[in-house]
Amino acid sequence: MIKGRYFPAGSARVVAASLSGTRDRLVLHLENEPDAADAKLTSVSDPIAGVPRKLTFADGGVFEAPLGADVDGLLKTGGTFFARLTRLEANLGLVAAVAVVTIGLVFAAYRFGIPLLASGAAAITPAPVVAAMDRGTLETVDRAVFSPSQLNAGRRRKLQAMFEELSQLAGDDGPALRLELRQGGMIGPNALALPGGTIIVTDELVGLAASDDEIAGVMAHEIGHVRERHSLQQIYRVLGIGFMVGLVGGDASQLVDDVVTQASALQALVYSREFETHADLYSVGLMVKAGRDPLAFVGLLDRIVRDAGGSGETGWLATHPGTKDRREAVRKRAEALDGAGETAQE
């Protein structure tokens, strides 16, 4: 028998009461009422630490068992999911074990799970959606940043031909590649790749280049972004990180939200460094295939750095961070490919 208190249907009034009987036939006895009544149970609140169990009956009345009362014993519900879960949550040893496993899981999800899911999601994103994203983005940046290219027709044709040559070597595994030339305006010497295969190169970048190989290197780098679906992966990764943070701090207040937003922006930068390295390496491979100088674009990078000088990080650098570390990686890859090429020829 459990002594507790009873609320009549829809009322805040309390009556001392007791509940007895078995799961199949519960008997509710109200104080000051001589007759005990059969009570038809409709629901029981799930157990959770510190909260009294409440049993709701068919007539809308609610019986509240005091804390610690053996409701599960009376109703034979000790084996339900939440009954087990409540016992687990109160067992410090098990909680510690769950904590260790969860920390491991969070780390694994962050390090491997999210990148893996992101690249999977990027691969299955329907091509028409991606193409439409390109149109939308191009429309927006054309209005906000770019103006039509001022290069003469001959120069433009030569650049298109060079791009065509690289695209052919890059193969057609993925969206069709397309070169758009624009005057960069506020973003200066720059090149960007949209996920649907549109690659934008600015007049300023062309102007700064000392040779065609330098421009080709940048084009190959951007083609790398498209072929390896970096923009889409980036979008999905940021979503994934946001979701993870939401899980950990799901009940967090405004202040936490603000900081978390800043942190995700930083995280996006970390990811983009990783993608830059990949695109560099892709560029080296493609340039070697095209019989061009794979290291040329490093020179262009240096010139942009010098050009940006006092005005801070502008142009390609703002969207392509970490020039210093990258050059070394590019050189190594080029040497490795070079060596491999020579052995193959022998």
Partner 1 sequence: MTSSETAVASREVPAYLEFSFTGRALEYFGIWIVNLFLSIITLGIYTAWAKVRRLRYFYGNTWLDGHNFEYHARPVSILIGRIIVVSLLIAYNLLVSVSPFFGLLIFLYLLAFPWLLNKSMSFNARMTSYRNVRLNFRGSYWGALLAFVIMPVVALLTAGLLFPLASKLSNDYIGRHLGYGSARFETRAPLKALYGNLGSTILFVIMVTLVCAGIGFVIGSSMVSVGNMIEKGGDELLDVLTFGPITGALIGGYIALAVAYLFYAAGVRNVAYNHTVLDGKHRLTSSVGRLRYVWILVSNLFATILTLGLLRPWAAVRTWRYLASSTGLLAAGSLDHFVDEAAPEGSVGAAEFFDIEGIDFGL
Q: Does 326 bind Zn ion (CB under 5 A)?
A: no
Among residues 57 and 316, whose Cβ is nearest to partner 1? 57
Stretch that binds Zn ion, among 34-42, 270-278, 285-293, 336-344 (CB under 5 A): 270-278
Question: Which residues are CB-neighbours of 162 under 8 A, at least 6 positions away?
Answer: 212, 215, 216, 219
Q: Does 286 bind Zn ion (CB under 5 A)?
A: no
Q: Give the sign of the dihedral formed by CA 243, CA 248, CA 254, CA 259.
A: negative
- 279 interface partner picked from partner 1, Zn ion, none, CB below 5 to 8 A per type: Zn ion
CA dihedral of 78, 82, 87, 92, whole degrees rounded to 10 = 170
Closest by Cα among 155, 153, 179 to 166: 179
Site of tokens 């016992």: 87
Query: Are 174 and 290 contacting, i.e. CB atoms less than 8 angstroms apart?
Result: no
Cα(201)–Cα(181) distance, integer angstroms: 5
- 124 interface partner picked from Zn ion, partner 1, none, CB below 5 to 8 A per type: none
- 320 interface partner picked from partner 1, Zn ion, none, CB below 5 to 8 A per type: Zn ion
Q: Does 31 bind partner 1 (CB under 8 A)?
A: no
From 116, 123, 127, 129, residue interacting with partner 1 (rule: CB under 8 A): 129
Q: Does 120 bind partner 1 (CB under 8 A)?
A: no
Q: Does 243 bind partner 1 (CB under 8 A)?
A: yes
From 320, 326, 333, 334, residue interacting with Zn ion (rule: CB under 5 A): 320
Least distance from partner 1 to the Cβ atom of residue 255, Å: 5
Q: Which two tokens stand for residue 164?
A: 């065509």
Closest by Cα among 165, 170, 155 to 205: 155
Helix (H, G, I), strand (E, B) or coil at 201: strand
Among residues 260 and 304, whose Cβ is nearest to partner 1? 260
Burial 209-244 (b: 16+ CB within 10 A, else e): beeebbbbbbbbbbbbbbbbbbbbbbbbbbebbeeb
Among residues 52 and 322, whose Cβ is nearest to partner 1? 52
From 32, 92, 309, 345, residue interacting with partner 1 (rule: CB under 8 A): 92
Residues that bind Zn ion (CB under 5 A): 276, 279, 320
Residues that bind partner 1 (CB under 8 A): 7, 10-14, 45-46, 48-52, 54, 62, 85, 88-92, 95, 98-99, 101-102, 105-106, 109, 129, 132-133, 135-137, 139-140, 243, 247-259
